[in-house]
Amino acid sequence: MNPDWMTAAVGESRPRVEGRLKVTGSAPYVADLAVPGLAHGWMVTATVSRGRIRDIDATDTLAHPGVLGVLDHRTARRLNPDVGQHFGPDRSLPMLQDDVIAYAGRPVALVVAETPEQARAAAARLRVTYDTEPHDLAFSMHHPAVRPASTLFGPEADIGDLEGELAASAVVVDEVYRTPEEHHGAMEPHVATAWWEDGQLHALDSNQGPFGVSQVMAALFGIDRERVHIRAEHVGGGFGGKTICGAQIILAALAAEHFERPVRVAFTRRQVFLATGSRPPTEQRVRIGADAEGRLRAVHHHAAFALSPLAEYIEWCTEQARTLYAAPAIRTELSAVPLNILPPCSMRGPGATPGSFAFESAVDEVAERLQLDPLHLRLLNQPSVSPVSGRPFSTRRLVTCLREGARRFGWAQRDPRPRVRREGNLLVGTGVAAVAFIAGVFPSSATITAETDGTFSVRVGATDIGTGARTVLIAVAADALGVGTERIRLHLGDSDLGMAAGAGGSRGTTSWAFAVTETAKALRERLPGSTTPVTATVDTTPLINWQPDEERYTYSAVFAEVTVDPATGEVRVRRLLGMFAVGRVINPLLARSQLIGGMIGGLSMALHEEAVRDPITGRLVTADFAGYHIAAHADVPDIEADFVADYEPQDPSGFNGLGEIGTAGTGAAIANAVWHATGIRQRTLPIGLGRAI
């Protein structure tokens, strides 16, 4: 092996290997890739929230120049009705199969034409009529249809005598917190190009995991997974909205088969809002009892979220309550309310983000009522082992994050009293929040070939959704093989590369890096003495310990400084600092970017993001960036993210995921800072104009 391997690539800041391609506009995204004979599909979606399609009159559409035809529930081929996705059976997947409408935005037809312009113009002439039925969008945790959420992630917590401890507490906070329906808003809209060849499906698709999408597509179309070939080479963001098998690829594959041509379905921004998933609204009751010194006695977090009757989903808001602080009594409950909404899917720290807003706001309210420093209260209640399971933590550097963050942020100079700090007309406040984000690994496989020219071809079914996965996997492979990064040829973004986890759940990098590392190990054992190319493949499924002795989390402490204009209620974030304990960091430059991006997502959700539905029609009023506000550059302040030294013992290389922890925590830190500035507690996001005063 090359002696220069002593210069480890892991731990070094390196820019993205595809950065130049991206900034020069030459990285080929799905819609950039030419396919001969391409036709274009335009999706038409339901304008009612519940009911049945009475009729689809395509006379004018078919008369439009360039139109090849219309696919709807009367003409589309049958798909397998029983296909599951991440959270279980998903009846939203078989599209154009019947006349039933369960949410506004449900695809009802695809108009296919020679050009996208013709398809769009012809689609506007499609006359779809409905027999409407009363819909239900009235989300509340007290809704009559509320039921326990799926326990796919494990049972909720229930230890100790909750009511007894609450009764014995010196102070009890009992409040309800709300977050709205939110949308992912990835930069690249969903798009797929599909074609069939010899009974095999080929597709270019913007998604977060081509292998998983190939499994769902194979099941829907009733063919072997090996006959489905999906590529997602460059993906312009996902935020969870591309973890699912999207409408774009299902519709493109249906049309490509029907019209016997390659078909591209490219969504507009509006169609992304209408038809590709969302974070559901949440309503969360948090009760916390503490003694006069601030020691927690009782923690109760009951979270409810909305979902679609078509598909199971989990917005797992209750994780913070069971692990962040020690208390003799802890109960968590998670409820789901089926409504006529777009089926939700994971979005930017699913569960943890709205959950930590509620929980870390309530913890701050305990400090407020006891007139204790909120940082002190958090440090006072640190558990030595998991407060619910009693298991040790594999690594827990939260105290270091809190203390180091406080030092850098200048927390010691803070006057604890609310509404006392003024600068000109503005009120100024600071706040803090802690986060525990569950970490782990999913099964993946990798294949590495030692080529005769001294390079190594590394094949892994990963996706780089803009996070830098390519760059970090090259570093991981180089170190694991003991060679320089220039000898690594990495191939990713293709379902033919083998079983692999998607870029999601903050587990993409840990899962792929584990597979690459184990494959490199296997290859190195076989290399000595060989003169021909040698290949090794490892599937990590049997190597993963699903019942580890220790609980595995990443941690952060987020500090925020805000100003509030007392005349308008306008909140501006002035400073954000996140200190993170996320295992051994592979590439500090890219990790910092990912965490800062996450914190901006958290800021955006704290102050701007809110999907609004018209209660009469159930339709999304905010289906564009004019109505659905996300943080823009001018909203983003002095923002910093840094790491404390950490190493994850459950990972062979010490790695942990950091994809989403930046988002969680930021909302509560900002809401707590707004309280400090104004003396008014914010229990509903977003803290928009007028709400903060």
Catalytic residue numbers, as ranges = 660
Cβ–Cβ under 8 Å, residues 354 and 296: no
CB of 508 to ligand MOS, least distance (A): 8
> Which is nearer to ligand MOS, 331 or 348 (by Cβ)?
348
Q: How far apart are CA 10 and CA 587, in angstroms?
A: 6
- If DSSP states are collapsed to H, E and C, what string results for 256-273? HHHHCCCEEEECCHHHHH
- Of 387 and 466, the one with the shorter C-beta distance to ligand MOS is 466
Residues 350-369 as x/- pattern, contact with ligand MOS by CB under 6 A: x-------------------
Alpha-carbon distances, residue 287 vs 50, 177, 294, 357 (angstroms): 36, 11, 14, 14
Residue written as tokens 């994850």? 648
Residue closest to 441 by CA, chosen among 506, 375, 355: 506
Exposed / middle / buried, residue 20 (Cβ in 10 Å: 0-12, 13-18, 19+) = exposed
When the beta carbons of 251 and 661 are compared against ligand MOS, the nearer one is 661
First to last CA, the chain: 65
Touching ligand MOS, residues 275-334 (CB under 6 A) = none
Establish if 86 lies at the interface with ligand MOS (CB under 6 A).
no
Q: 378-397: which residues touch ligand MOS (CB under 6 A)?
A: none
Q: How far is the CB of 503 from ligand MOS (least distance, A)?
A: 6
Query: Of the listed pieces 22-30, 175-183, 342-350, 642-650, which binds ligand MOS according to CB under 6 A?
Result: 342-350
**For residues 329 and 352, which CB has a smaller minimum distance to ligand MOS in the complex?**
352
Answer yes or no whether residue 461 interacts with ligand MOS by CB under 6 A: no
Amino acid at 539: D
Question: Judged by CB under 6 A, which stretch of 121-129, 341-349, 379-387, 586-594 contacts ligand MOS?
Answer: 341-349
Task: Identify which range of 22-30, 236-244, 561-569, 630-638 contacts ligand MOS by CB under 6 A.
Answer: 236-244
CB nearer to ligand MOS: give 488 or 500. Answer: 500
Which range binds ligand MOS by CB under 6 A, 64-72, 159-167, 232-240, 557-565? 232-240
Q: Is 240 in the site for ligand MOS (CB under 6 A)?
A: yes
Q: If binding is defined by CB under 6 A, does position 344 make contact with ligand MOS?
A: no
Q: Compute how many other C-beta atoms are within 10 angstroms of the C-beta atom of residue 304.
A: 25
- Main-chain phi, psi angles of 142, to 5 degrees: -100, 10
Closer to ligand MOS by CB, 350 or 429: give it: 350
Using the rule CB under 6 A, give the single segment among 27-35, 106-114, 260-268, 345-353 that binds ligand MOS: 345-353
Give the whole-angstrom CA distance, residue 468 versus residue 464. 6
Quick one: which segment of 27-35, 129-137, 239-247, 355-363 binds ligand MOS (CB under 6 A)? Answer: 239-247
Q: Please state whether 618 falls in left (phi above 0), alpha (psi between -120 and 50) or beta.
A: left
Smaller CB distance to ligand MOS: residue 238 or 246?
Answer: 238
Q: Work out how close the CB of 276 gets to ligand MOS at its nearest, in angstroms, rounded to a whole number.
A: 13
Q: Shortest approach of ligand MOS to residue 579 CB, angstroms?
A: 22
CB of 295 to ligand MOS, least distance (A): 35
Q: Which residue has the tokens 């409905």?
A: 130
Which member of 180, 185, 338, 504 binds ligand MOS (CB under 6 A)?
504
Sequence-distant (≥ 6) Cβ neighbours of residue 214 within 8 angstroms: 225, 228, 229, 230, 495
Tell me which stretch binds ligand MOS (CB under 6 A): 262-270, 308-316, 324-332, 340-348: 340-348
* Under 8 Å between Cβ of 359 and 517: no
Helix (H, G, I), strand (E, B) or coil at 428: strand
* Smaller CB separation from ligand MOS, 271 or 506: 506
Q: Does 347 sit near ligand MOS (CB under 6 A)?
A: yes
- Select the span of 87-95, 100-108, 237-245, 446-454 touching ligand MOS (CB under 6 A): 237-245
Instruction: Determine the length of the chain.
Output: 693
Site string for ligand MOS, 202-221 (x = CB under 6 A): ------x-------------
CB of 440 to ligand MOS, least distance (A): 12
Which residues touch 243 (CB under 8 Å, ≥6 apart)? 86, 207, 208, 209, 212, 345, 346, 502, 503, 504
Out of 348, 552, 613, 681, name the contact with ligand MOS by CB under 6 A.
348
Query: CB of residue 279 vs ligand MOS: minimum separation in angstroms?
Result: 9
Q: Please tell me the distance from the alpha carbon of residue 268 to that of residue 252, in angstroms, as a whole number.
A: 15
Considering just the CA atoms, what is the radius of gyration of the chain in Å? 26
Judge contact between 432 and 375, C-beta under 8 A: yes
Q: How far is the CB of 345 from ligand MOS (least distance, A)?
A: 8
> What string marks each residue from 153 to 192 as x (binds ligand MOS by CB under 6 A) or -?
----------------------------------------
Taking contact as CB under 6 A, which single stretch among the options 156-164, 244-252, 346-354, 519-527 is the one that binds ligand MOS? 346-354
CA distance 327 to 330: 6
Contacts of 642 (CB under 8 A, 6+ apart): 408, 577, 578, 579, 580, 592
Contact status, residue 545 vs residue 553, Cβ threshold 8 Å? no
Q: Which residue has the tokens 């081509």?
A: 210
Give the burial class of 380: count Cβ atoms within 10 A of its Cβ; 0-12 exposed, 13-18 middle, 19 or more buried.
middle
Minimum CB distance to ligand MOS smaller for 10 or for 244: 244
- Judged by beta carbon, residue 49 or residue 276, the one nearer ligand MOS is 276
Ranges assigned E (strand) in 211-273: 228-231, 263-266
Of the candidate residues 51, 105, 180, 238, the single one contacting ligand MOS (CB under 6 A): 238
Q: How far is the CB of 409 from ligand MOS (least distance, A)?
A: 28
Residue 243 interacting with ligand MOS (CB under 6 A): yes
Q: How far is the CB of 505 from ligand MOS (least distance, A)?
A: 4
Structure tokens at 341: 């909404």
Report yes or no: 308 and 343 within 8 Å, Cβ to Cβ: yes
What is the total count of residues that contact ligand MOS (CB under 6 A)?
A: 12
The yes or no reply on residue 50 touching ligand MOS (CB under 6 A) is no
662 binds ligand MOS (CB under 6 A): no
Distance in Å, CB of 430 to ligand MOS, minimum:
29
User: Using the rule CB under 6 A, is 346 a contact of ligand MOS?
Assistant: yes
d(CA 400, CA 407): 10
Least spacing, CB of residue 275 vs ligand MOS, in Å: 18
Closest to 227 (Cα-Cα) out of 258, 257, 261, 267:
257
Q: Which is nearer to ligand MOS, 49 or 282 (CB)?
A: 282
Nearer to ligand MOS, 58 or 435 (CB): 435
517-521 own/partner pairs: CB under 8 Å, 24+ apart: 517/476, 517/480, 517/652, 517/653, 518/446, 518/543, 518/652, 519/445, 519/446, 519/447, 519/448, 519/458, 520/448, 520/477, 520/480, 520/481, 521/480
**240/583 with CB nearer ligand MOS:** 240
Instruction: Compute CA distances 16 → 61, 401, 467, 597, whole Å.
Output: 46, 27, 9, 15
Query: Among residues 289, 429, 505, 657, which is the contact residue for ligand MOS, using CB under 6 A?
Result: 505
Minimum CB separation of residue 504 from ligand MOS in Å reads 3
CA 479 to chain centre: 29
Query: Which residue minimizes CB distance to ligand MOS?
Result: 240
Residues that bind ligand MOS (CB under 6 A): 208, 238-240, 243, 346-348, 350, 504-505, 660
